[in-house]
């Protein structure tokens, strides 16, 4: 299957103003797309970065995809239109992409996650590595 994936607000986000070099990777969403890649799908990252301003963000974007370990077959830039809403019969939001990891054995970090309650959760979550957060999210199919 050929899958086109948006970059901004899909596999990365921003705190405040959207400034591409300051994009923060969303490792949970990246893991979802990487799993689709591992399953044999063709992944194309498709972005409108620079489409309105005419600035070339190719180098920045390529470096980000590499640094964030985004598995993909190619990057397409300058061909995606800038729009406010896309209505299409073949579209899904990243939240609709579910992964189904092997649940034969519950990882220790998932067991620990299940014991955390209430206000302690946010602080505990911040202490986890990105890999631990991904393990938990994948275990629950998020």
Mean local confidence (pLDDT), 93-121: 69
Residue 109: predicted pLDDT: 80
Residue 120: predicted pLDDT: 66
SS3 (DSSP) at 19: coil
Give residue 34's Cα distance to chain centre: 9
Q: Which domain holds residue 128?
A: 99-142
pTM: 0.65
Clarify whether residues 74 and 13 are in a common domain: yes
CATH code assigned at 88: 3.40.50.1000
Q: Rounded to a whole number, what is the distance in angstroms from the first to the last CA of the chain? A: 21
Clarify whether residues 73 and 113 are in a common domain: no
pLDDT top residue among 99 and 59: 59
Clarify whether residues 25 and 38 are in a common domain: yes
Residue 97: predicted pLDDT: 74
Clarify whether residues 68 and 116 are in a common domain: no
Clarify whether residues 44 and 87 are in a common domain: yes
CA gyration radius, the chain: 17
Could you read off the pLDDT of 1-60 as tens digits, one per residue?
899 999 999 999 998 888 999 999 999 999 999 999 999 999 999 998 988 888 999 999
Q: Dihedral angle at the C-alpha atoms of 29, 40, 100, 35, nearest 10 degrees?
A: -30
- When pLDDT is cut at 50, 70 and 90, the band that residue 100 belongs to is low
């Amino acid at each position: 299957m050929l899958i086109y994936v948006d970059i901004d607000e899909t596999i990365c986000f921003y705190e405040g103003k959207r400034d591409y070099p300051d994009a923060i990777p969303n490792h949970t969403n990246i893991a979802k797309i990487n799993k689709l890649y591992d399953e044999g799908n063709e992944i194309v990252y498709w972005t409108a970065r620079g489409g309105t301003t005419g600035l070339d963000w190719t180098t920045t974007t390529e470096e980000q995809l590499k640094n964030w370990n985004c598995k993909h077959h190619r990057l397409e830039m300058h061909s995606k239109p800038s729009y406010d809403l896309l209505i299409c019969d073949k579209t899904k939001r990243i939240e609709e992409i579910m992964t189904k990891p092997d649940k034969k054995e519950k990882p220790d970090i998932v067991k620990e996650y299940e014991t955390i309650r209430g206000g302690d959760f946010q602080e505990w979550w911040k202490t986890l590595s990105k890999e631990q957060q991904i393990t938990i999210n994948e275990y629950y199919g998020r």
